[in-house]
Amino acid sequence: MKALFRAIYVDAIDESNRQGKQRLFELISNTYRLHPAGVLVVGDSFESEIDAGNRLGMRTVQLLRAGVQRTDHATYHITSLAELKHFFATPAN
């Protein structure tokens, strides 16, 4: 499984030196020289990952699971992570 990842970034919400989602997304984008439109941010919370991705011009996918309120601010919506395979075949705009 390790071979599938170059790096893993964790936004540890309970740590005092927390960078936050937006800063982590900026770091990843800059480190790997990614164009924001080519990045797909997946999360369930508008206030967290969806908002951060939107602020950076990234495409956002809201995972709608039990207890998650849908937001119109996400670019796309899914109900299962299995649906992500469709995004890998679709070029970024």
Each residue's pLDDT tens digit, 57-93: 999 999 999 999 999 999 999 999 999 988 876 565 5
Is residue 24 classed as helix, strand or coil in its secondary structure? helix
Q: How far apart are CA 62 and CA 46, in angstroms?
A: 8
Q: For residue 44, name the pLDDT band (cuts at 50, 70, 90).
A: very high
Q: How far apart are CA 42 and CA 61, in angstroms?
A: 5
Domains of the chain: 19-87 (3.40.50.1000)
Mean pLDDT (whole number) for 7-23: 89
Q: If 0-12 CB within 10 Å is exposed, 13-18 middle and 19+ buried, where does residue 50 land?
A: buried
The pLDDT assigned to 77 comes to 96
The torsion angle over the Cα atoms of residues 49, 50, 52 and 55, rounded to 10 degrees, is 170
Q: Name the one residue in this structure whose structure tokens are 């990952």.
A: 49
